Structures are given as structure tokens and as C-alpha cells.
Amino acid sequence: MEFVFTEEQAMIAETVKGFFAEHATSERTRKAMAADGIDRDLWSAFCAELGLAGIGIAEDLGGAGLGMVELAIVAEAAGSQVAALPLLGQAMAAQAIASGGSAAQQGEWLGKLVSGEAIAVYASADALDLADGKLSGSVSFVMHGGVADLFVLGSGDSAWLVRADAAGVSVTTHTTMDQTRPMATVTLAGVAGDALADGAAALAAARQAGWVIAAAEGLGVAQASLERTVAYAKERVQFGRPIGSFQAYKHRLADMVIEIEQARSAVYWAACAVDEQSDEAAIALHSAKSFAADTAFMCAGNMIQLHGGIGFTWEHDAHLYFKRARALQSMLGAGDWHREQVATMILGAAA
């Protein structure tokens, strides 16, 4: 597949890269980490001013009418700055409602999500029990669960909308490694959920969006790790010469470049395959999520080591990238699980 951004996509990439570079600063991200994990001013500008929260939603539903490629472009730019936004969970929730919600459910929620008026997050909730139309059980690892207004919970082939302020809902927040994406446990005790009209379609759309965004964020983390390390290699001098001139150092940087270029191909192959409803979409998604997340972890780890002592300090941003990369590896299916899906698709029963 030969893939090149269209003129419009290139313009979006330039716009979002500049937006996050200017506004998702280290100072603002650290301030958000000390609060609830969201840079509220950044989120407001992201949604209301640029309209980026609706980039993967159809125009007749209030979105921008663009696809997964454009969403990946935005996610890559956000990942490159480790932006403190509820982008991943919100996009998964919005895609679920757009694909599987009734007209009433779409009308009630999508406008609020696109504008930033409300925050919704998606979570897999296979341990939920349904009795007499009421949901009970505990849902772990809910992204930004402590600040969400709406939970989209998927279980089996069904999905429900659950308001955070509904009777019987309790939320326990946790301190997690990636403080830009805090997790929570949501407990339901006889809660009246609003079942989505087509649960299977909702879950499929949420997972596709989640894997594309997580992979694209990983690509952004990896690219930024490389660029920051290259800049440091030109500035830091040892034995009278820049450390980037030493062969061993250059080899590590070259390894990062190779992995990043492969990850970039995987990410945009997956996004394009989803947009084109290609038969390759499933294998592309699993490949992109596993490869890009592993690449992010490798590059972020190298960033710390190649910065020497300063890279291990709290004052340096390298740890922000490392924590985001490690979190991406484990969420929405670990790399081993995704690779098993790829093996099964290729080898069938032999896998």
C-alpha cells in the first residue's frame, strides 16, 4: 500500500502539531497531573475552538465527518507532547454511541461530547451482572473515571450508557503510573443503564478507535523521544566533542529511527484500512497496537538512558514519556495478546 497524506490531512497534521507544541507544555501537563489529570483549558480549546473532539464523527451527527486517519494524526500529535486530555476514552465512547446508539441516545450525548460540555469514557465491563434491567458489578481500570459524566460500558455483545451521577454508582480513584491518564474503579449496585441499540456495533467501533488512537499516541511518544534525544546529543559535550558523534550513541539513535518508521507504516495502514473497510483492518489494528506501543516503550527507555543522569530525574520530561509508553503497552490488550490474534488470523488452527 502506498500511502501519502492528502493536502487536507497534511494541513490538519501541521495545525495539531503546532497546537500541542504551543499549549501542551510540560508546566501545564505537570499541573494537570497534580489535579485530576486533565488540562481543562487545553481540553476546552481542543473541543470548542478547533472542533477536534468530533473529528471521527459523521457530520450528520454533529462531527467533522472525517475518519480514522485524521483521528490518528491528532492522536500522534497529542502523544508527542504527552497531552493531559481524556482523548482516548472520550473518542471510544463517542464512536460507540455514533455506531450503536439510537437516534435519541446520539442526540442526547454526541453534541455534548463534541463540544466538550461532557466527558464520556469507554470501559470493558465483562464482570457486570444484569438482573431486572439493573446493572451490578465492578469495572476496573476506567480511564479518567473520576471526572467522567458518562460511562459507556461494554460486556459481551451489549453496551450500556451509565450516568456518573446515577443512583448506585460509586467511583474510586487510584494513583497510577501515568498520571496524565488516571484510572478508577467504577462500582455499580443495581444501576439502571441505558442499553445501546446495537451493542455489537458499538463495541466494534469503540475498540477500533481505541487501538488506532493508542497506536498513534505511541508513535507520537516514540518520535518525540527520538527528536528530544537527538537535540540533547548535539548539545551535550564529553571529551571535547558532542556525545552524538560517538558511534555507540549513533547506533542507538539509528535503531530508534528504524523502529519508528515501521511503527508509522503500521499505524497509518491500520487507520486507512478501517476507513476503507478493508478485509485487512483486523490484522492491521492488532499489528499497529502491539508494534507502536512496543516502539514507544523502546524509544522512551532509550531517551532516558541516552540522556544520562538528568534523564532519570523528576525535573526532566523523559519520565512522562516513559510512563505513557508503559501504560500504552498494557492497556486495550497487551502486545502478546494482539500478536496472538495476528498469528491466529494468519495460521488459523495451527496457531
Show the 3-state SS of the chain. CCCCCCHHHHHHHHHHHHHHHHHCCHHHHHHHHCCCCCCHHHHHHHHHHCCHHHCCCCHHHCCCCCCHHHHHHHHHHHHHCCCCCCHHHHHHHHHHHHHHCCHHHHHHHHHHHHHCCCCEEEEECCCCEEECCEEEEEEEEEECCCCCCEEEEEECCEEEEEECCCCCEEEEECCCCCCCCCEEEEEEEEEECEECCCHHHHHHHHHHHHHHHHHHHHHHHHHHHHHHHHHHHHHCEECCEEHHHCHHHHHHHHHHHHHHHHHHHHHHHHHHHHHCCCCCHHHHHHHHHHHHHHHHHHHHHHHHHHCHHHHHCCCCCHHHHHHHHHHHHHCCCCHHHHHHHHHHHHHHHHC
Q: Reply yes or no on whether the pLDDT at 246 is more than 70.
A: no
pTM to 2 decimal places: 0.92
Q: For residue 235, is pLDDT > 80?
A: no
Of the pLDDT bands very low, low, confident and very high (cuts 50, 70, 90), residue 21 is very high
212 pLDDT more than 80: yes
Provide mean pLDDT across the span 122-141. 87
What number is the average pLDDT over the span 36-52? 90
Task: Kindly report which listed range (207-211, 245-249, 250-254, 324-328) carries the lowest average pLDDT score.
Answer: 245-249
- Among 41-55, 82-96, 123-137, 153-167, the range scoring the smallest mean pLDDT is 123-137
Topology, domain 201-350: Butyryl-CoA Dehydrogenase, subunit A; domain 3 (1.20.140)
Mean pLDDT, rounded, for 211-232: 94
How confident is the model over 153-174, as pLDDT tens digits? Answer: 998 888 999 999 999 999 999 9
Give the residue among 116, 123, 222 at the shortest CA–CA distance from 181. 123
Share of the chain above pLDDT 70, in %: 97
Q: What does the pLDDT look like over 275-304, one tens digit per residue?
A: 999 999 999 999 999 999 999 999 999 999
Task: Give the contacts of 191 (CB within 8 A, at least 6 positions apart).
Answer: 134, 135, 136, 162, 166, 167, 168, 169
Q: What is the mean pLDDT of the chain?
A: 90
The answer to whether residue 65 scores a pLDDT higher than 90 is: no
Residue 1 has pLDDT above 60, yes or no: no
Paired residues of 143 in beta bridges: 183
Q: Residue 295: its pLDDT value, please?
A: 96
pLDDT at 133 over 70: yes
Per-residue confidence band for 186, with pLDDT thresholds at 50, 70 and 90: very high
For residue 245, pLDDT beyond 80: no
Tell whether the model's pLDDT for residue 97 goes beyond 90. yes
